[in-house]
Amino acid sequence: MQGQSDNNSLRRQRQRRTLADAFLKMLPADAVIFREEELVPYECDGLSAYRQVPLIVLLPYDTGQVQAILRYCHANKIPVVARGAGTGLSGGALPHEDGVLLSLARLNKILEVDQSNMRARVQPGVRNLAISDAARSQGLYYAPDPSSQIACSIGGNVAENAGGVHCLKYGLTVNNLLEVTLITIEGEQITLGASESSTS
Ligand SMILES: Cc1cc2nc3c(=O)[nH]c(=O)nc-3n(C[C@H](O)[C@H](O)[C@H](O)COP(=O)(O)OP(=O)(O)OC[C@H]3O[C@@H](n4cnc5c(N)ncnc54)[C@H](O)[C@@H]3O)c2cc1C
């Protein structure tokens, strides 16, 4: 039994090293986390009864890097789990044992607050509360307010269709979205929905 677990651990270390070498060729060094002690913080989301250290964690800086990661993983049949802030209570960001945990935390820019059309364009890693604050500074109001809003990301809100008490009056995340640009598991960028300006 001991021999079998040593073999598994060795196999995993080799797999991790191979993946790290591949990703270090396409990403900056600080975007590739592969040392066991640095992987442990990512072993669970808010559903902490379930834990799994991922094979590797990637923290891309831009959409091009996200696409490169997904294309590589798709071509090499490597499972990928996306992670926002890791506050989810349903285990959605629980890593896959043999997979990549893809953190979108560094895509955290508010690209535009368009006051006259009452909408904002944001990257997926922006915190919910940061959107509310940016809207408020322009005299606007972003209603979806999960209790985790100080930490949770808009990407996680969209994936979970999150809401809070204000959603009883103003609707859930889905009712406050016009358009989502996403990267498919094959690495293709697509846009769902339409902002008003692109339909006019
Ligand atoms: C104290 C506390 C209070 C909470 N209160 C509420 C509440 O009032 N209402 C509520 O609805 N929820 C609540 N939640 C749950 C949680 O905060 C929400 O589900 C939130 O939307 C998760 O966002 P996150 O960024 O942490 O996502 P994560 O936990 O990181 O991920 C959640 C899911 O989204 C996916 N995902 C994340 N980012 C992306 C992305 N960019 N692209 C594709 N998929 C992605 C992940 O794969 C995963 O399946 C609470 C949680 C805590 C811990």
What's the CATH number where 139 sits? 3.30.465.10
Question: With a 6 A CB cut-off, is 86 part of the ligand 1 pocket?
Answer: yes
Domain boundary among 103, 137, 162: 103
Closest Cα to atom 37 of ligand 1: 156
Q: Containing domain of residue 188, as a range?
A: 110-199
Residues 15 and 52 in one domain: yes
Residues 96 and 165 in one domain: no
Looking at residue 37, what is its pLDDT?
Answer: 95
Residues 64 and 118 in one domain: no
Residues 22 and 96 in one domain: yes
Mutate to test the pocket of ligand 1, among 47, 48, 57, 83 (most ligand atoms within 8 A of CB): 83
Could you tell me the pLDDT band of residue 1, with boundaries at 50, 70 and 90? low
Contacts with 6 (C-beta within 8 Å, 6 or more apart), sequence order: none
Residues 134 and 51 in one domain: no
Kindly report, residue by residue over 128-178, the tens digit of the pLDDT. Answer: 999 999 999 999 999 999 999 999 999 999 999 999 999 999 999 999 999
The CA distance from 15 to 40, in Å, is 17
Domain boundary among 53, 87, 103: 103
Residues 95 and 123 in one domain: no
Question: With a 6 A CB cut-off, is 65 part of the ligand 1 pocket?
Answer: no
Averaged pLDDT for residues 48-58? 98
CA dihedral of 42, 43, 45, 48, whole degrees rounded to 10: -140
The CA distance from 148 to 161, in Å, is 13
Averaged pLDDT for residues 180-197? 92
Residues 171 and 87 in one domain: no
Residues 157 and 116 in one domain: yes
Mutate to test the pocket of ligand 1, among 147, 166, 175 (most ligand atoms within 8 A of CB): 147
Closest Cα to atom 48 of ligand 1: 92
Domain boundary among 103, 136, 163: 103
* CATH number of the domain encompassing residue 58: 3.30.43.10
Q: Among the residues of 25-153, which ranges form H helices?
A: 36-39, 63-75, 128-136
Question: With a 6 A CB cut-off, is 119 part of the ligand 1 pocket?
Answer: no
- The tokens for 123 are 């990257």
Looking at residue 132, what is its pLDDT?
Answer: 96
Averaged pLDDT for residues 67-73? 98
| Tally of domains within the chain | 2
Which pTM was predicted? 0.95
Looking at residue 195, what is its pLDDT?
Answer: 77
Assess whether pLDDT exceeds 80 at residue 116.
yes
Pick from 103, 81, 75, 28: nearest CA to 187: 75
Question: With a 6 A CB cut-off, is 80 part of the ligand 1 pocket?
Answer: no
Pick from 183, 191, 190: nearest CA to 62: 183
